[in-house]
Amino acid sequence: MWSRRYTGLVPSFDDLSYGIATDLEGNYYVTGSSKDVSGNSNCLTIKYDSAGNTIWINRIPANPQIANVGFNLATDSSQNVFIAARSNGKTTIIKLNSTGNIIWYKTSPEGSVITSNYPVIILDSIFNVHTTAIGTSTGEADYVAIKYDSSGNQIYLVTYDSGDITYDYVYNLALDKDGSIVLTGEFAGTTGNYGTVKFSPIKTGILENNIQSLGYYLSQNYPNPFNPRTVISYQLLIPAYVSLKVYDVLGNEITTLVEGKKIAGTYEIDFDGSNMSSGIYFYKLITDGFVVTKRMVLLK
């Protein structure tokens, strides 16, 4: 259908892309590394529309050193872009708005320029950011996972050292149905071994993920109780047919919020109860082989 080539500021220098993501509107984002005129590596991200037209290009300069290469991306329902990047061996998370401008960035406290494992990123159903990094406080390389909220506040940082007098390289992460974070990579002894670590759900006082399936997520509405508006969000890790409806306590259907095929992504629905009386209501998400119902309270 189309192909696009990006040649940077100096055609004789390498420009390499590593990560790609799409948003709910069908736009595409790629990130990687591009040399500037001085030969310094810059983190460079491009947004294309569905036809391959360039919407914007964000180049992060070498000074100040925020990040020199992007490896992975994720997008939210507002077309904000979250980039998992590296800077001098440290993981940097960068949030760009829909026009490609930096909203915030956060850099991990430790890192190593000699390790080759690159950061990955996951957004959960309420747009918290989960990423991997490298820990060096033991004098080696250890697993690190960091969670930020959507405003860039660090919620937690966890580390794992396999105990070998060597290096542990984390390559990927996942969130399970209970909100536990799982890391996998390499426990490098005399030879490399699979190394997988599961952390229990970490309570932080922040609204926790509500994950009921490996493919589908339905969050508790917020605020709850509400008057008269609240937000209901859900996430699809794969495309699916979605039905999301609101019912009263007798099981009578009040309204249909979503009905149809949806691509993978995170969705938010602004629900208005202005024409409803105070009371308990239920909202039900039905997808392929998955049904979940949650309660919400309208309090006028």
Per-residue pLDDT of the chain (300 residues; tens, 9 = 90+): 999 999 999 888 889 999 999 988 899 999 999 999 999 999 999 999 999 999 999 999 887 778 899 999 999 888 999 999 998 889 999 999 999 999 999 999 888 777 767 899 999 877 889 999 998 887 888 899 999 988 898 888 999 888 766 788 899 999 877 778 999 998 876 677 899 999 876 654 323 333 344 467 888 899 999 999 999 998 887 788 899 999 988 888 999 999 999 988 889 999 999 999 999 999 988 886 677 888 899 998
User: b or e along 137-155 (b: 16 or more beta carbons within 10 Å of the residue's beta carbon)?
Assistant: eeebbbbbbbbbebeeeee
Which residue is associated with the tokens 């904000």? 80
For the domain covering 15-199, report its CATH number: 2.120.10.30
Which CATH number is correct for 216-298, 3.30.479.30, 2.60.40.3080, 2.115.10.20, 3.40.190.80? 2.60.40.3080
Q: How far apart are CA 97 and CA 103, in angstroms?
A: 6
Q: At 74, list the tokens.
A: 């994720």
Predicted model pTM: 0.68
Q: How far apart are CA 139 and CA 187, in angstroms?
A: 15
To the nearest 10°, the Cα dihedral for 201, 202, 204, 207? -20
Q: Do domains 15-199 and 216-298 have the same CATH topology?
A: no
Would you state the pLDDT for residue 60?
93
Would you state the pLDDT for residue 214?
45
Annotated domain spans of the chain:
15-199, 216-298
Would you state the pLDDT for residue 141?
86
Would you state the pLDDT for residue 115?
73
Would you state the pLDDT for residue 216?
73
Residue 125 backbone phi and psi in degrees, to 5: -70, -15
